[in-house]
Amino acid sequence: MEKKESDLPAKLASPAQRALANAGIHNLKQLSKLSEVEIKEYHGIGPNALITLRAALKAKNLSFTKKN
């Protein structure tokens, strides 16, 4: 079985990694389709996780969507 390719930050805390995995988010492109407001609602995504995710998205010229 082929493992899904993930470019999510390795330094992301385990609760945040689990929250994203449980939501079916395995890469930054999928993450960029959500807004920060939506991501904050996931149990396990705190302020530090948001900082890390923002930086990872920016490094790939991506960002959270602006929708609510």
Distances in Å between the Cα of 27 and the Cα atoms of 20, 41, 55 are: 9, 18, 14
The full set of domain ranges for the chain reads 14-59
pLDDT exceeds cutoff 70 at 3: no
Render pLDDT for 24-63 as a digit per residue (tens, 0 to 9): 999 999 999 999 999 999 999 999 999 999 999 999 999 9
Report the alpha-carbon distance of residue 58 to residue 39 in Å, rounded. 16
Mean per-residue pLDDT, 13-23 = 96
Model pTM score: 0.88
Give me the pLDDT at residue 18, please.
Answer: 96
